[in-house]
Amino acid sequence: MLWLCIRLTQPGLAALACASDVSMPLVLTQSRAGRELVFEANDAAVTSGICPGQPLTAAFALAPGLVVYQRQPPAEQALLERLAAWALQFTSRIHIDPPASLLLEIGGSLRLAGGLDRLTARIKQGLVTTGCKAVVSVAPVPTAARWLARAGVSDRVVNDPARLPQALGELPLDAVVEGDVLDALQAMGIRSMAQLFALPRDGLRRRFGRALIDELDRGLGRRPDALPIFEPPERFTVKVALPAEVVATDALRFTLRRLLMEMEGFLRGRAGAVDVLHLVFHARKGSSQRIRVGLATPASSAQRWLAVIEQRLERVQLSAPVVALELRSGRVQETSGTTADLFDAASGGGDIGRLQEQLVARLGEGAVCSLRLSADHRPEYAWRFVPPGSDVADATSGPHAAPRPLWLLSEPRKLVLRDGMPCHEGQPLVLECGPERIESGWWDGSDVCRDYYVARDASGARLWVYRERRQQGVWCLHGIFA
């Protein structure tokens, strides 16, 4: 087994939507002993000299235009759960380790990912796209990976369990021990884990109890470390609070991209895709505005969803300033692996599904539709409009034996007769074949009784004409052959 630990270095800022998109100094604060202290600071604040642990008053002295938000632990927990769902694309065995870590069992994923280096590179790149800064460490047991990450030892890989005592011995004591135990050990002159490992176990047990010995044994792989495995939800659902009120949809693009990247990982881990997303814009006082976005075919790609959502948002006018954004997926549909085309024909822009999605997003669902054949002999009723992406034929409809024109007039046009024969543009028609008798529709009050012919006019054009059987001497033009 091999465990990878992801430890977020700024979980509070990562949980705050758009925080990394703010260029001015920004901090999160938390109350401690009646004082407001800086918990996390973005890059602009650090450049101004602000660091975690400072009193908020001192931070304001360094950056008068400082943006301040209160730390929200529930939002950090929700972020960890979303990242766990995102990490399903790499492994199915994930443990959430609050307040800021995830543990992934990656031993079974190395061969599929092309090795440890490629897998860790993909994970780190994915964390960047989701807006998270993190330390990533690898060890044969989860507790050792956790210790390495807590010590800030990024990219440290320990494959061999026999190397654990040496690798972990280099860690500072506060990477593993905390609270009163840490204070007591430091008072004894213990500063590193190597010094702690060298102390007699019986003395440690009598002084600090069994819990410390068990923790050391788990870190060194001498004691099993049973961890509960994360169970993903049935659908992807997330709601994030925005750091400031948003009055235009353009300002939501950064947050949407982050959430869609998280959804992409969730869907890849489920080997699934969705064809519907619901966006909810929450305003103050409980009001909300909802929009539905759909695709022609289910997809998991964040870029594909973002392209369609951006087109849709161009037509959306926010009814009130937005303070929170919610994204809910439709039912997750299983996808099967497909073999890519050797020459990647889809890259040439011929994907009709993508074009359809863009048109629906820009023009609206009612403005784009498909044509579908219906099982009716009357030409006017042999087709109908259906939503985009529907099948083009009913199961009960079949091909007509007689020829049909591609261009059917919206209303039949009455023809002039000369010597009892129909004429078109002043010239008599030559009837090439027919009649095809269509007598139908008695059940809905729009019954017809016609004899259809394929005719040719003086210029050689082929026309579809019919003679009314109920009205003597009435001929009409109904279609034109290509």
Contact in structure between 132 and 145 (CB atoms under 8 Å): no
53 inside domain: no
Residues 194 and 266 in one domain: no
Higher pLDDT, 368 or 40: 40
- Which SS3 state, helix, strand or coil, does residue 5 take? strand
101 inside domain: yes
Which band of pLDDT confidence, cut at 50, 70 and 90, is reported for residue 396?
A: very low
Residues 411 and 291 in one domain: no
Q: Are strands 67-70 and 26-32 parallel, antiparallel or unpaired?
A: parallel
- Tokens matching residue 304: 């594909």
Residues 168 and 245 in one domain: no
How do residues 353-388 score in pLDDT, each as one tens digit? 667 777 776 676 667 777 777 778 888 888 777 776
| Distances, alpha carbon 210 to alpha carbons 85, 143, 216, 443, in Å | 35, 17, 10, 87
- In this structure, the chain runs to a length of 482
Which band of pLDDT confidence, cut at 50, 70 and 90, is reported for residue 397?
A: very low
Tokens 């024109």 correspond to 405
Mean pLDDT over residues 203-222, rounded? 93
In the predicted model, what is the mean pLDDT of the chain? 87
Residues 382 and 476 in one domain: no
Residues 308 and 378 in one domain: no
Which band of pLDDT confidence, cut at 50, 70 and 90, is reported for residue 17?
A: low
Residues 206 and 281 in one domain: no
Q: Are strands 383-386 and 370-373 parallel, antiparallel or unpaired?
A: antiparallel
Q: Are strands 416-418 and 427-428 parallel, antiparallel or unpaired?
A: unpaired
Predicted local confidence at residue 482, as pLDDT: 72
Mean pLDDT over residues 208-227, rounded? 92
Instruction: List the end-to-end C-alpha distance of the chain, in Å, as a whole number.
Output: 68
How do residues 281-328 score in pLDDT, each as one tens digit? 999 888 999 999 988 789 999 999 998 898 888 888 898 999 999 999
Higher pLDDT, 96 or 471: 96
Higher pLDDT, 351 or 49: 49
- Above 60 in pLDDT, residue 151? yes
Predicted local confidence at residue 395, as pLDDT: 44
Mean pLDDT over residues 267-286, rounded? 91
Residues 90 and 213 in one domain: yes
When divided into structural domains, the chain yields a total of 4
Select from 52, 122, 110 the least CA-distant residue to 86: 122
Predicted local confidence at residue 3, as pLDDT: 95
Task: List strands edge to edge, sheet with 26-32.
Answer: 35-41, 26-32, 67-70
- Above 50 in pLDDT, residue 348? no
> pTM for the whole thing?
0.69
Predicted local confidence at residue 350, as pLDDT: 47
Last-in-domain residue among 360, 378, 398: 398
259 inside domain: yes
353 inside domain: no
Q: Which domain holds residue 389?
A: 369-398
- Above 80 in pLDDT, residue 78? yes
Last-in-domain residue among 314, 334, 354: 334
Mean pLDDT over residues 329-350, rounded? 60
226 inside domain: no
Which band of pLDDT confidence, cut at 50, 70 and 90, is reported for residue 401?
A: low
347 inside domain: no
Residues 92 and 189 in one domain: yes
Residues 385 and 244 in one domain: no
Residues 81 and 148 in one domain: yes
Residues 183 and 241 in one domain: no
Which band of pLDDT confidence, cut at 50, 70 and 90, is reported for residue 477?
A: very high
- Above 70 in pLDDT, residue 347? no
Predicted local confidence at residue 416, as pLDDT: 92
CATH number where 317 lies: 3.30.1490.100
Residues 425 and 279 in one domain: no
Select from 379, 401, 385 the least CA-distant residue to 479: 379
37 inside domain: no
- Above 80 in pLDDT, residue 123? yes
CATH number where 133 lies: 3.30.70.270
CA distance 216 to 197: 8
439 Cβ neighbours under 8 A, 6+ residues apart: 447, 448, 449, 450, 469
387 inside domain: yes
